[in-house]
Amino acid sequence: MGARFYITDVFATKMYSGNQLATVLHDDRIPDEEMQSIAAEFGFSETTFVMSQSPGEGGYPVRVFTPKAEIPFAGHPTLGTAHVLREHVLDDIGDTIRLRFEVGSIPVRSSDSGALWMQQNQPEFEDGADPQTIASMLGLNGDDMDPRWPISQVTTGLPFTIVPLRSADALRRAQVASSAYERWIDTVWAKGILAFHLSGRTQEQDITARVFVPYLGVPEDPATGSANGCLAGYILRHNVLGAADIDVRVGQGYEIARPSEILIRASLSENTYRIEVGGRVIDVASGLLNVTA
């Protein structure tokens, strides 16, 4: 009997949109090296493995793999895995489920709107990147950078460099130059990139973002909950929207034909951040995975 898996679309606006996720119900026959091979076989931005269907201390243990490496946390895998456990595995778990990652326990709650919401860890920041270096790496000009706010490295569990752009056109033109990127990642700890502009792709959206994570085998990600959690902290730290309490919609993935919508609710009070990232999860497929052991 093979290991059961589920495929979902996370932060989806409809079927076959959002960010694809494979979730595997792990059994003891799957060694670590095969988990990495399974993630590469699916080829999605991430694949998760639920290591136990019984909650341990801090919640249900989950491991996350990109096609190239295991990572300590990611956003859309958190929502997608919580959805799979809630809808297909567990009974009567209430409004909130906790998943345990390398970075700690992450609560995910359901809402009447149908969206799932994850609460992210307190952000950490480092400002001061050179705008011209980032512009060149993204195939842009220095004038495409928005000078009102700094380029910052931010993490709530998985680090990203946040890049504010002056126009929607600059965001559409952005493309990572591989040779410049390879040189750059040796100089920073936040090797993923989230570039954004204060305009939406739909009337309901407030921000558009693009996320590039080549070092993990993801040239461009359709929807990135961890990066948008970093963006939420960045917006509050630098007063981008002129408020200490924000409720916004972010469009992502349009340039790669996977339109996605990420919901952000966040606040800053007495140097304490509360960051929630939410979205819809849609079932796509399920099946049995052959394992070699």
Q: Which amino acid belongs to residue 6? A: Y
What Rg do the C-alpha atoms of the chain give, in angstroms? Answer: 18
Q: Which domains does the chain have, with CATH numbers?
A: 3-119+280-289 (3.10.310.10), 124-278 (3.10.310.10)
State residue 99's pLDDT score.
95
CA distance 274 to 108: 14
Q: How far from chain centre, in Å, is Cα 165?
A: 20
State residue 112's pLDDT score.
83
Nearest Cα residue to 218 out of 94, 114, 76: 76
CA distance 208 to 256: 13
Q: Tens-digit pLDDT profile for the chain (293 aa)?
A: 689 999 999 999 999 999 999 999 987 778 888 999 999 999 999 999 999 988 888 899 999 999 999 999 989 999 999 999 999 999 878 899 999 999 999 999 998 888 999 999 999 999 989 999 999 999 999 999 999 999 999 999 999 999 999 999 999 999 999 999 999 999 999 999 999 999 999 999 999 999 999 999 999 999 999 999 999 999 999 999 999 999 999 999 999 999 999 999 999 999 999 999 999 999 999 999 987 66
State residue 293's pLDDT score.
60
- Tell me the whole-structure pTM to 2 decimals: 0.93
Angle between helices 225-237 and 75-84 (to 10 degrees): 130
Alpha helix positions (H), 122-217? 131-137, 168-173, 178-184
State residue 1's pLDDT score.
63
CA distance 164 to 148: 9
Alpha helix positions (H), 199-292? 225-237
Q: Do residues 86 and 96 lie in contact, with contact meaning Cβ atoms separated by under 8 Å?
A: no
Tokens 């898996």 correspond to: 5
CA distance 24 to 111: 25
CA distance 173 to 208: 13
